[in-house]
Each structure stands twice: as structure tokens, then as C-alpha cells.
Structure 1
Amino acid sequence: MSGLEYLVISSYFFPIGIGLALLVWKRLIFVGKMLWFYLLFTVCVEIVSATLATNGINNLWLYRIYLYVELVFPSLFFFKQLSNRNSKNILLFAFSTAIVLTTLTNFFDDWQSHASVQTGITFGCIALIIISYFIEMFRTENVFNPFKDIYFLVGATLLLAHSCTLIYNLLYDYLVIGYFGDEMLKILNKGNLGLVLLYNILYSYALWISRKPQI
């Protein structure tokens, strides 16, 4: 791995460290704990994936498993925040449909190949859930400052992350064969690593602002 890749993986320990400190001090709220465990699982997957890749072992099957976590986490995270019954029904329908479609696609697909279709399914589900929350948040005006709301920050970060991942996966086959030039894949890989670094900074901020007031 390059120095940038080591830096990006190491950046996961920043939000994990903040979350752990708040957890020890008993100042981490429930949704903060959910975010912390999600990030902890993510860094474990990243480390295993990087180890497999470094040793020349195909790690794409691990990404397919991880996509299930990407479906479960936002569904649980935003479910209670949706006060509208129709919005909750939409969330449950989107989640159930995405799980079924992903499982069916995995069943008939080669687990050693790139999971472009599954990535698209995951993005559609997550985008629907988060946009539903954003619409309800601004419609009810429950949040005075969205940049001090953990749900808005996590939702915006997830939406940005999955949008970039979807674009990368849609272009992956073209990038591998050098359709856009030999250097484009390297440029996008570095850009993706830079975005992961940004996501971890945003998650760290989300954890920090969600802490319980000190008594």
C-alpha cells in the first residue's frame, strides 16, 4: 500500500478514538454509539480488504458482504427520526426490497467480480431513505441548524459517499481497460482516498457535536 492508503486507513481511528472516549465518559448518545460501531466495523473491513489485496488475494467478495451493513445502518439510524408513517413505510419497503434484490443478485453473480449492480441497489435505497429524512426535517423545521445535527451530517456524508462510489463502480470496467487514459484510474483512486479522509473528518465532527452535556 502507498503512504496515502495507510493515512486513510489510519484516519478511521480519529472518529473511533473520539467515539471511544465519549463512550468511556458515558457521554455518547444511542445514535452516536450506532455510528461508532458502524465505523469500527468499517475499519475492520478496510484492514482485512487491504491485507488481502496486498497479498494478491481477491477481496471483492468482502465488499458484497459489507454492502449489507451499508443497507442496515442507515435504515436503523433514520427510522425513529421519521415521524411520518408513510415515510417509515417507504423506508421499510426500500430496505426490504434492497435486501432481497441484493441477495438474489449475489446468488446468481460471481462473488469474485465487481459488484456494480449491488452498489446501484444500495445507493437507491440509501438515497431514498436520506432524502425522505431531509424532506421531513426541512418541512417540519425541527432542526434549527442542520450543521449541528448528527442526523443531517451523517445523512449528507453517506449520500455523498455512496454517490461517489456509484459513479466509480459504473465507470470501473472502462477505467480498468484504460478507456479514459492510463492515468485516470490512479487519479480517481487517489481522489477516492481523499474523500474517505473527508468522510472520517465529518464523522468525527458528527460524533463530537452529538455528545451528551456534561453534568
Structure 2
Amino acid sequence: MVGLAVHRLLQEALTNAAKHAPGAAVHVRLVRDGAILGLSVVNDPATVAPLPGVASGGSGLVGLDERVRLAGGTLRTGSTSEGGFEVVAELPVTDGATPRAATATRPTASARELAHARRQVRRRLVQTIVVPLAVLAGILLLMIPISFISSSLSVLDRDRYERLSVGDARGDVQPRLPAFTKDGPPDDAPPTPKGEDCVYYNTRTASAAAYRLCFAHERLASKAIVGSS
């Protein structure tokens, strides 16, 4: 419908210019702005007298106004300040929609601001919740191999344990011990002997039992296997 309306409008406007302003220049402009199609036909002032015998070639400007309105557009006609005549129409690209209705479908400034605010909220939620959770998950994953390595490096070889004797100087015992100690005694380990400083070593990786070496006055005061084996 819009295409036919544009065709008829252009045909009638050119016929009208030829009839009422013979010899005058005619300027035709067709522009699309989003969902709105604009057509203007403007003729300069007539250089010779009008030719009354020329047929209008259609139903006239009154009929054009009705055709444009049915297509959902608007039509404006009238004389220009230079003495010419103009026919200006605006039609929606989609049939049946008025220019105002088509324009109303475009996002308003407030709608754009609301959409921007929502994006900002989502971004901040990601920064405050998702990112810390991802970092925490990464730390937990790193702690698993670290814990395993620490447990492996705190295993005291049984032969070395057997060769340790009560009364040995701490300075002689220390070089024969693993680089790391166990993180505290097993849950079911007996209390630490009074006056002694005890350290614990794993009997093997992931074992609940532990070797306990207790020192007093810088000498090995006691040794024992504690905890569930």
C-alpha cells in the first residue's frame, strides 16, 4: 500500500506542477528515516501562464490526501515562500502504521537508561558473587594437591624411626626427620607428656596413625606410634 501511495503521490504532484507551473523546475526528494519514508515534490514559481487545458491525471490532491491517510501517513500541501508549490508526505514503511506510531516503537531515552542500569546491576552481581566464588573454587582446587604434597613430605620412614633412640640429642635427630611435620596430633592421640615438646610425623600418606617424637631439655625423651593405624 505504501509503495502504491508513493507512486500515485509522485505522479499527481508532477502532473500538478506541469499544469500550474509549466516550465518551472521541479525538485523531488525521497528519504527514509528509520521506519518513516518522506517524499517531497517542490516546484519553483511558474515562468509562463498555467495551461488550463492540461488534465490533472488523477483524483487530485484531495484524493491523494485520502490515499496517504489510508496508508498510515500524513500529507501537507501549499505554497512556498518563494512563490512555488510543495507537496510533502510522510509514510510508514509498515502498512497501516502512522508515523507517530512507528516513531513510538523506538526506544526512548528513559528506556535506554533503564536497560543500561540493568546491565550495570548484572555486571556488579557477577563481580561481587560469581568472581569470588570462582576464586574460592580455584583456591580449593589448589589446596587439594598442596595438602597431598604436604602429607607426602611429612612421612617418616619406619627404618629411620626405629633407629631413633631415647636420649639422642635433638641436633642429631633433626637432620634425619622429614622437612614437614604433621598438622597436629591424631584425634585419638593420648595427651602430650608433661614438660615435653612433641612433634608428629605421618607413618604413610593419608594414614590416621602418626609417629610422635617428644623432646625435653633438647633430647629425645620419648617416641611412640599414636592414633589409629
Q: TM-score, normalised by structure 2?
A: 0.24
Higher RCO (Cα < 8 Å, 6 or more apart): 1
State which structure, 1 or 2, has the greater radius of gyration over its C-alpha atoms.
2
Q: Which structure has greater helix proportion?
A: 1
Q: TM-score, normalised by structure 1?
A: 0.25
